[in-house]
């Protein structure tokens, strides 16, 4: 029986270790999203499995980011949240490093988003950035949609208007949710996210 050279075995093992720890996203469009659990600002722990059979929206956020402030203050985000409040589970995720100047306490976050009239199930705290890195969330905001079969069907920006100045903007999340809930395939499954970089812990 032909044996593989030791160098080949070492290389294969090294590549596997690199893939596991190099920050490569663990979620892909069209594939099931791995299970995860995070604590909400209400003190409860939420798992993806809790919402099995429902459409889930994940929104990465940071209230100190000017882009996040704009999409909330202009109603870009809240309009979609309210439109689908009865049909989807909307979870907002904060992966900001607790030692970063932009980090805010759960109490402060609750007040800020209440002032913005935000509508979501809860805000999940991801202080170690594990879930954010699993999704490869790059910006605030960065949007992800998971269908009823727990498959990722959209990843990208809230819309195609980074500067907030377009009169004919395309709201990708609104369109994807409309198609998904209407039993149609999501036509635009990815787009380029924009905003502030997620302030992960090192």
Domain of 85, CATH number, reads 3.40.30.10
8 Å CB contact between 70 and 143: no
Residue pair 77/174 in contact by the 8 Å Cβ criterion: no
**Residue range of the domain that includes 78:** 26-197
pLDDT exceeds cutoff 50 at 12: no
User: For the segment 82-105, what is each residue's pLDDT rounded down to a tens digit?
Assistant: 999 999 999 999 999 999 999 999
Longest dimension (CA), the chain: 70
Residue 162 within any structural domain of the chain? yes
Average pLDDT (33-54) is 96
Is 144 within the bounds of a domain?
yes
Q: State the pLDDT confidence band at 26, using cuts at 50, 70 and 90.
A: confident
Q: Is residue 191 part of a domain?
A: yes
With respect to residue 13, please indicate whether it lies within any of the assigned structural domains. Answer: no
Residue 59 lies in a domain: yes
Q: Is residue 14 predicted with pLDDT exceeding 50?
A: no
Q: How many domains does the chain have?
A: 1
Distance CA 112, CA 56 (A): 23
Residue 88's H or E segment, with its range, is: strand 88-94
Structure tokens that stand for 152 in this block = 């990722």
In a domain, 2, yes or no: no
């Amino acid at each position: 029986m032909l044996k593989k050279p030791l160098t080949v075995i070492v290389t294969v093992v090294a590549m596997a270790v690199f893939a596991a720890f190099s920050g490569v996203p663990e979620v892909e469009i069209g594939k099931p999203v791995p299970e995860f659990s995070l604590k909400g600002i209400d003190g409860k722990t939420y798992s993806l499995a809790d919402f099995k059979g429902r459409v889930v929206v994940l929104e990465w956020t940071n209230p100190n980011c000017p882009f996040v402030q704009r999409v909330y203050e202009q109603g870009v985000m809240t309009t979609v949240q309210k439109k689908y409040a009865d049909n989807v589970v909307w979870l907002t995720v904060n992966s900001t490093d607790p030692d970063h100047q932009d980090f805010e306490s759960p109490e402060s976050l609750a007040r800020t988003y209440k002032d913005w009239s935000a509508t979501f199930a809860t805000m999940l705290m991801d202080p170690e950035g594990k879930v954010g890195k699993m999704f490869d969330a790059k910006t605030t905001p960065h949007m992800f949609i998971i269908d009823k079969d727990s498959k990722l069907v959209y990843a990208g920006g809230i819309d195609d208007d980074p500067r907030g100045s377009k009169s004919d903007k395309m709201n990708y999340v609104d369109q994807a949710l409309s198609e998904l809930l209407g039993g149609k395939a999501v036509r635009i499954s990815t787009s380029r996210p924009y905003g502030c970089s997620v302030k992960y812990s090192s």
